[in-house]
Structure 1
């Protein structure tokens, strides 16, 4: 069933608190909780299917696709919880096939374009270290391939497989690693995406999971997360968001117990990471000309979710050299500053201001 709704209807749906993200839940049964959310979401949309009003050039809803995505995501979770991770991924892949027919503002930039709306995007990384020694740029890069045993499970991760995690603010980076930079030794570095055609031919694709329902309603959202309200006014973006909301919601449950070894809240985002990894180098010989990542808001807490965007880029599996066990694609795609200790500055913001002003960028080499 396909029908149109007005902009007012769209805002009314997303302005319901039960659909706000991230979601705090009771931790009892993740599959049932997710199914209940999706059932409620579908019912809200179907209210307008029976509305006799016809909106010309309205926001189009494809209920068959939305129901298909919801059903496949719940089925994936059930497979995983019942001990069938392979079936879970294959089912999730079907959901992604539906979603990728109508991608949500995927950033795909060639070497001749800027990465983010013509702006020079700077991203930060914070790394906890156990001492006060001087470190080179490599310490602020992703976990090296030869230390994959150090790669634990996180929301957007593949256990044992290195990825590069970056954030749009240094405070957000510290929040994500649960470190107090004035009590712990924390290194900070700033990253810039390399756009020089002489050095890299990398195209960039970023799966957009960083938009909340609240962003379409709250005109004050252009703060730390910097989502242009003008972009969110586009009807095609609104149509696409209604389709992608189930995936974003399924990836945005706040973890109930951080001390438990398993988190059901991580099932869908980890399946997404596997899907992204499978897309890198999908066609033989293209490992060196594409970089695929995910942009998302933090789900560490409601407060953290408004502190900026996180980016994660899985490594390609290609090693730069025998001496440098780092991803060759990421090493060519980013330049970064020499790491500095945050505790040497008055506060996190002072350190960030220093990094923003730095011109000392170099490659992993």
Structure 2
């Protein structure tokens, strides 16, 4: 059995001081991971695939630093394409480990009525903006194509291509926006297409610490999770160095976004890097959706994907009166609250270093208020 202290080396985010240390630190982490997997009683095929994924990530980074960005992307396309039948890595949004844990039957090896019930719950997502002025549904979409010049570089982004960024809770959105003043914090709830194909980068290192072939007491295909984890390591760095115009920790994430686009995926799910991965699930799981312009696009400056979603009117957090809504009581309307509020390992969030049970927070009530509002497809003008 693998030493627990050794596995704790894979806690994320991985925090380092300087950008120049990213490549060597990543290489060392991946080498250590290969050594750890070698100690597991898993198949030789699994060990081979883990080595292949780790080596491909290192090779892609080398290619990128040497100016061979196309080759770097192709390297990741090759490895993802070879793992597309791995449900831990690629699946539809509704069957994705990032949002439903082991509930999807493709991920577990036995029946479980609780998970079957969880699969029947609707998934809700949230997106937020900071604004001094009132916003509409249309304001809660991606940056229009005619405003590409204001698209900034994000961890999961493609230069010049707009994306939509969602979280599983309003708290997750607030965290990603650097905890803004609540009188400027607008949020909408979303229903997204269940058929969207999503790359999952949300597996936590504790997967490796459970007894062989079980996770949270549920039998599952551990080998498939082990193969995915190197991608999580490579995209989970946080570098403290300030005043940088280039961020090495974004390289693999952005290459994966380009690879996802090329092979026909709709986006990538990932844990927030502003807190530990263990704290991030399930309240701070994020989703970056690629908003490419279809050749058959008929809605002007917006992606065809905007016609596939439904959302509520954005509501200002400071205008939301938690005491008037449901008399300040949680009604278990979202999957995050309903299925995790009694789970000791996944119920807390941290505000100002204080632990709060999520279902007892105003953010949880805000979530429930938002999903109780009317969902509509945005009224975009066709061209």
On whether the aligned pair clears a TM of 0.5, the verdict is yes
Residue of structure 2 equivalent to 1:299 = 273
Residue of structure 1 equivalent to 2:319 = 344
The one of 127, 130, 138 aligned to 2:129: 127
Residue of structure 1 equivalent to 2:9 = 18
Is the deviation greater in 157-166 or in 347-356? Answer: 347-356
From the superposition, tell whether residues 331 and 76 of structure 1 become closer, same or farther in structure 2 (CA, over 3 Å).
Answer: same
Residue of structure 2 equivalent to 1:42 = 34
Structure 2 contact 163–291 (Cα < 8 Å) conserved: yes
Counterpart check, 1:334 vs 2:309: yes
From the superposition, tell whether residues 13 and 205 of structure 1 become closer, same or farther in structure 2 (CA, over 3 Å).
Answer: farther
The one of 188, 195, 198 aligned to 1:206: 198
The one of 371, 375, 380 aligned to 1:361: 375
Deviation at 1:189, TM superposition (A): 0.2
Structure 1 contact 336–363 (Cα < 8 Å) conserved: yes
Deviation at 1:72, TM superposition (A): 1.2
Structure 1 contact 168–308 (Cα < 8 Å) conserved: yes
Structure 2 contact 162–291 (Cα < 8 Å) conserved: yes
From the superposition, tell whether residues 38 and 109 of structure 1 become closer, same or farther in structure 2 (CA, over 3 Å).
Answer: closer
Residue of structure 2 equivalent to 1:309 = 285
From the superposition, tell whether residues 147 and 246 of structure 1 become closer, same or farther in structure 2 (CA, over 3 Å).
Answer: same
Counterpart check, 1:262 vs 2:246: yes
Deviation at 1:20, TM superposition (A): 1.9
From the superposition, tell whether residues 341 and 78 of structure 1 become closer, same or farther in structure 2 (CA, over 3 Å).
Answer: same
Q: Which structure 2 residue ranges, 5 or more long, are not aligned?
A: 101-118, 322-361
For residues 278-312 of structure 1, the C-alpha deviation after alignment (integer angstroms, 9 at most, x for no partner) is 123xxxxxxxxxx6221110112327634421111
Aligned-partner Cα distance in 2 for 1:206–1:251: 16
Aligned-partner Cα distance in 2 for 1:103–1:25: 31
Aligned-partner Cα distance in 2 for 1:254–1:109: 27
Structure 2 contact 7–209 (Cα < 8 Å) conserved: no
Aligned-partner Cα distance in 2 for 1:262–1:338: 36
Residue of structure 2 equivalent to 1:141 = 141
For normalisation by structure 2, the TM-score amounts to 0.73
Structure 1 contact 13–44 (Cα < 8 Å) conserved: no
SS at match of 1:64: helix
SS at match of 2:266: strand
Q: Which structure 1 residue ranges, 5 or more long, are not aligned?
A: 1-8, 49-54, 196-202, 220-227, 281-290
For normalisation by structure 1, the TM-score amounts to 0.76
Deviation at 1:188, TM superposition (A): 0.6
Deviation at 1:178, TM superposition (A): 1.4
Deviation at 1:25, TM superposition (A): 2.1
Residue of structure 2 equivalent to 1:99 = 83
Aligned-partner Cα distance in 1 for 2:240–2:173: 21
Deviation at 1:207, TM superposition (A): 1.3
From the superposition, tell whether residues 106 and 118 of structure 1 become closer, same or farther in structure 2 (CA, over 3 Å).
Answer: farther
Aligned-partner Cα distance in 1 for 2:6–2:170: 30
